[in-house]
């Protein structure tokens, strides 16, 4: 198993893939480096690739009018980001900024879609992992919203 395949195996949407399937995903990955403070993408842009951090950190943030930047998360190596806009073909919902310099693996949407179109077993496994991942995120958001609403009633 290559180093890239080994890293892909740790990512939630690829965890069910076998070694050969991981190698096929690795074939469509490209490496990109970003300087400290460089925008990887900006809120509102069209999302055409997902990212996996190899080295360094990425700050996920939003600009709040009148307040400036609000950091939502600091992502570490092994974290995936930018996948939502790739899946739903929507705009980026946040900014992603290199926090001290970083190196990422990227998969372009068109390459990802071709991979899934021509490899039905990979598509099946990846999409089920996505369903579980997004369901978990929705459940977490619902729990947070419930707690926020409960606190705001007092």
Burial per residue of 86-104, b for 16 or more beta-carbon CB atoms within 10 angstroms, e otherwise: beeeeebebbbbbbeebeb
- Range name among 48-52, 96-100, 148-152 with the lowest pLDDT average: 148-152
pLDDT digits (tens, 9 = 90+) for 54-112: 999 999 999 888 888 888 899 999 899 998 888 888 899 999 999 999 999 999 999 99
Average pLDDT over every residue of 31-53: 94
What DSSP character marks residue 119? -
Confidence of residue 126 (pLDDT cuts 50, 70, 90): very high
Confidence of residue 125 (pLDDT cuts 50, 70, 90): very high
Would you state the pLDDT for residue 106?
95
3-152 to CATH, choices 2.130.10.10, 3.30.70.2190, 3.40.50.12240, 2.60.120.10:
2.60.120.10
Model pTM? Answer: 0.84
Average pLDDT over every residue of 14-35: 95
Domain ranges of the chain: 3-152
Mean pLDDT over all residues of the chain?
90
Would you state the pLDDT for residue 137?
82
3 state DSSP class of 35:
coil
Q: How far apart are the first and last CA of the chain?
A: 55
**Distance between CA atoms of 83 and 9, rounded to whole angstroms?**
16
């Amino acid at each position: 198993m290559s180093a890239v395949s080994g890293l892909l195996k740790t990512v939630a949407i690829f965890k069910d893939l076998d070694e050969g399937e991981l190698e096929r995903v690795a074939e469509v990955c490209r490496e990109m480096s970003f300087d400290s403070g460089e925008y990887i993408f900006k809120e509102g842009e069209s999302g055409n690739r997902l990212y996996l951090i190899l080295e360094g950190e990425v700050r996920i943030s939003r600009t709040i009018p009148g307040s400036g930047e609000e950091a939502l998360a600091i992502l570490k190596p092994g974290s995936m980001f930018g996948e939502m806009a790739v899946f739903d073909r929507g705009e980026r919902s946040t900014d992603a900024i290199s926090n001290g310099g970083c190196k990422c693996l990227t998969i372009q949407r068109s390459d990802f879609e071709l991979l899934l179109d021509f490899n039905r077993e990979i598509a099946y496994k990846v999409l089920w992992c996505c369903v579980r991942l997004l369901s978990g995120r929705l459940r977490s958001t619902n729990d947070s919203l419930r707690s926020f609403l409960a606190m705001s009633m007092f």
